[in-house]
């Protein structure tokens, strides 16, 4: 593009190196057929001119399709949380389609690690140039990304991190600090009893994510040296009967709980319980901008929702792959999402 005088094209490089543009092109794309001497000469000029490829021309001319795989949980009856990342992915897909990018989505069942493995295998069978994944199953994910690494396929994590991996990027919350924020929010309606509950509604009580959130939650009270008693409530069965049974027992054993902090998006089932039992005196904090949660927020049975922009995570995850594969631009290794505080008053304008 001659619209900017400081940009040179392959023609100028070829002129200075006394070769054809075909040779310059071979060097740019690391194809064979150029002598080491010529290659060095061209690379020096590329560096000297700070050559920047014209992406429009490049993608127009190239017949290569860049296939990307997305590996995320399927939207389930229990939670439609995964609708939001998918929405972001669809948005990014529409934006980058014009560059010859083809996105394929592979869903797995959050309750079935075998489905994750099956879809991971399908991805490895295909010719994908990049992978965006939610590493819900840590060990299975490690196995999958080892294969990606061997094939030199960049991968991006969303929603949760797998520590010490060579991922291109992690885009998700800082979970410890998220729990810390939860603790602060649970103090706003504390009166005198100073007892709060941490509720984990999940088949797995000690997942890596949950532990970090709880650790952050407890740290707040320790840092502030607040005389708060924290009751941990584990609810393994996620159906509403079980939630009712377990909460009934816990609130009977601890009848002076003033606030409840739910560590994931199933806070609506606690809110339903509080509504049914006319316990609007208990402050409730949980996660995620889901329709059920918003409904209880508006009815004031939930005080705060903590949200990490899952839609934006999906969008940014795919854009990170585009940035590295198409633009050849650097990507920030870790992108922590904001820890958003959503209330009844500001929820209408929340951007997930």
Partner DNA sequence: TTTGATTTCGGGTACGTACCCGTAAATATA
Partner DNA sequence: TATATTTACGGGTACGTACCCGAAATCAAA
Binding site for a second copy (CB under 8 A): 1, 3-4, 54-57, 59-60, 63, 65, 97-100, 102, 173-174, 177, 180-181, 184, 188, 220, 336-341, 343-346, 348-351
| Shortest Å, Cβ 182 to a second copy | 9
Q: Residue 340 binds what, of a second copy, DNA, none (CB under 5 to 8 Å, by partner type)? A: a second copy
Q: Quick check: helix, strand or coil at residue 101?
A: strand
Q: Residue 177 binds what, of DNA, a second copy, none (CB under 5 to 8 Å, by partner type)? A: a second copy
| Count of residues near DNA by CB under 7 A | 31
- CB nearer DNA, residue 34 or residue 72: 34
| Shortest Å, Cβ 317 to DNA | 25
Nearest to 320 by CA among 309, 310, 311, 329: 329
User: Between residue 22 and residue 81, which ones bind DNA under the rule CB under 7 A?
Assistant: 22-23, 25, 28-29, 32-38, 51, 53-54, 57-58, 60-64
Q: Interhelix angle for 267-276 vs 291-298, to 10°?
A: 40
- Element spanning 177, H or E: helix 175-186
Q: How far apart are CA 48 and CA 52, in angstroms?
A: 11
Q: How far apart are CA 209 and CA 134, in angstroms?
A: 13
| Shortest Å, Cβ 324 to DNA | 15
| Shortest Å, Cβ 133 to DNA | 27
CA distances from 31 to 8, 28, 34, 49, 228 (A): 21, 8, 8, 21, 65
User: Between residue 267 and residue 286, which ones bind DNA under the rule CB under 7 A?
Assistant: none
100 binds DNA, rule: CB under 7 A: no
Q: How far apart are CA 36 and CA 184, in angstroms?
A: 62
The number of CA neighbours under 13 Å toward the Cβ of 294 is: 12
- CB nearer DNA, residue 16 or residue 184: 16
> In the β-sheet with 304-307, what is the strand arrangement from edge to edge?
229-235, 195-201, 259-262, 283-287, 304-307, 340-342
Q: How far apart are CA 264 and CA 306, in angstroms?
A: 9
Q: Residue 29 binds what, of DNA, a second copy, none (CB under 5 to 8 Å, by partner type)? A: DNA
Q: How far apart are CA 42 and CA 18, in angstroms?
A: 9
Place of tokens 């739910």: 262
Q: How far apart are CA 337 and CA 84, in angstroms?
A: 14
| Shortest Å, Cβ 42 to DNA | 9
- CB nearer a second copy, residue 266 or residue 308: 308
| Shortest Å, Cβ 1 to a second copy | 7
Q: Residue 53 binds what, of DNA, a second copy, none (CB under 5 to 8 Å, by partner type)? A: DNA
Contacts with DNA, residue ranges (CB under 7 A): 1-2, 9-11, 18-23, 25, 28-29, 32-38, 51, 53-54, 57-58, 60-64
């Amino acid at each position: 593009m001659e619209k900017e005088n400081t940009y040179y094209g392959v023609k100028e490089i070829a002129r200075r190196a006394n070769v054809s543009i075909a040779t310059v092109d071979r060097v740019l794309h690391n194809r064979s057929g150029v002598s080491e001497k010529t290659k060095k000469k061209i690379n020096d000029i590329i560096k000297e001119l700070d050559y920047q490829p014209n992406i429009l021309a490049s993608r127009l001319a190239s017949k290569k399709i860049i296939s990307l795989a997305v590996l995320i949980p399927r939207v389930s009856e229990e939670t439609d949380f995964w609708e939001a990342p998918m929405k972001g992915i669809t948005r990014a897909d529409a934006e980058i389609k014009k560059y010859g990018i083809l996105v394929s989505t592979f869903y797995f069942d959050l309750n079935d690690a075998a489905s994750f493995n099956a879809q991971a295998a399908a991805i490895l069978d295909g010719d994908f140039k990049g992978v965006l994944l939610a590493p819900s199953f840590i060990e299975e994910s490690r196995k999958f990304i080892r294969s990606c690494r061997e094939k030199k396929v960049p991968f991006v994590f969303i929603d949760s991190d797998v520590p010490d991996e060579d991922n291109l990027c992690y885009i998700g919350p800082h979970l410890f600090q998220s729990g810390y924020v939860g603790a602060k929010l649970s103090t706003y309606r504390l009166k005198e009893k100073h007892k709060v509950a941490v509720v984990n509604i999940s088949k797995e009580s000690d997942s890596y994510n949950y532990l970090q959130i709880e650790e952050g939650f407890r740290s707040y009270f320790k840092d502030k040296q607040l005389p708060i008693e924290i009751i941990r409530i584990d609810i393994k069965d996620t159906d509403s009967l079980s939630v009712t049974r377990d909460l009934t027992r816990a609130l009977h054993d601890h009848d002076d709980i003033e606030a409840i902090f739910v560590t994931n998006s199933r806070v609506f089932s606690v809110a339903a319980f509080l509504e049914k039992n006319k316990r609007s005196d208990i402050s409730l904090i949980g996660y995620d901008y889901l329709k059920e949660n918003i409904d209880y927020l508006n009815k004031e049975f939930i005080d705060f929702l903590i949200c990490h922009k899952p839609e934006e995570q999906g969008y940014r995850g795919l854009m990170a792959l585009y940035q590295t594969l198409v633009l050849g631009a650097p990507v920030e290794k870790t992108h922590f999402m904001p820890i958003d505080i959503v209330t009844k008053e500001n929820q209408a304008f929340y951007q997930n």
